Structure 1
Amino acid sequence: MSINTRRLVSLLLPVAVLLGACSNADDATEPSDSPASDSPASASSGAASSDEQSTEQASPTEVQTSTAAGECPYLSTEDVAGIVGQMILETLVTTTTPPTGPLPGCTFRTYDDEAAASIETLTIEAGTGLERALELVPGGNPVDVGEGGSVLVHQGQAQTQLAAFAGTTMVTVTINQESSLEAEELAKLVLAAG
């Protein structure tokens, strides 16, 4: 679980508990049509079915993702293909809900279904960018993208990771090559689009 996801869960958990308590109080007078489930919320109310209860309780705190083919909001397929020097056959866009979670991520796939480049963006607290970049890509070298960050070329593994920030936007880039320059170019385009 990412740090942003943990932070989101820790902030929304008290709200979910409060909403659950209110929901359970309202449901207490309704008869149950299904046996009680093992979940604490269903056991305490004994009113709503386990399906209804999990939907009500999961929505405020549970982060859900969906991935579909589409256009990346930050980079064109042509730009990525030109920078990484590979033919991109499909772009997958991953969205996360609730909307306060991570911004859409993009994966650019090659003809052999390998991810040539993966881009993720996060909204971070002001003043935490460098610390977060070093958490996301520890052991890397300083990078001159946006306001700074970290880039790590994994020698012999055909992979480079980069995390850079500008203001409250953090971008992470992973490419299937050992090239910090290509990762930096992709990150610069993403931050410029934001």
Structure 2
Amino acid sequence: MERCGWAGPDEIYLKYHDTDWGVPEYDSRALWEKLVLDGFQAGLSWLTILKKRENFRSAFAGFQPDIVAEWGPVEVERLLADKGIIRHRGKIEATIANARVWQNLEARGGFDQFLWNYMGGIPLQNSWKTLEEVPAFTPLSTQISKDLKKEGFRFCGPTIVYAFMQAVGMVNDHLVTCHRHAEVAEIALAKTR
């Protein structure tokens, strides 16, 4: 079975590639969780985050933004002592601040709508043949990053945003030779019918 070259050999990575990555996500809370985790990934491997994902979910109250938005210095110190997550003060404080931004965007029509409006609600289907063709960021990820920052989001540069867009299926960047490319394209088509 052919997969994208980045997937493997670790079983958790293969499962993530084969079940999650690239599948269009329209749930506001799940989108926020993924963007937060991509921010924590900055400077690290995604595999590191995947292995700690359940710890992150536990530490951040299931990534419920309305809960996290209420947190302050006590929770920051608790999280800095949690060996199950990435203990980076800037990223932890950004997550709390980003929860508040999420609330504002959610109240103004939805965080999901804010993001998917850039795509007209329809995932972009790419047809890359090699990993070398896949960009690290695009003009669109740069624009979304700029707009998120204008709203107050942190740890959301163009490269982080593009990785996020790939992961949540805003773009289908499975290589055309990968068994998931056609499957993810069909899932995207079904969601837009």
Q: TM-score, normalised by structure 1?
A: 0.24
Q: Work out which structure has the larger RCO, using CA pairs closer than 8 Å and 6 or more positions apart in sequence.
A: 2
Greater Cα radius of gyration, structure 1 or 2:
1
Return the structure number with greater helix share.
2
Return the structure number with greater strand share.
1
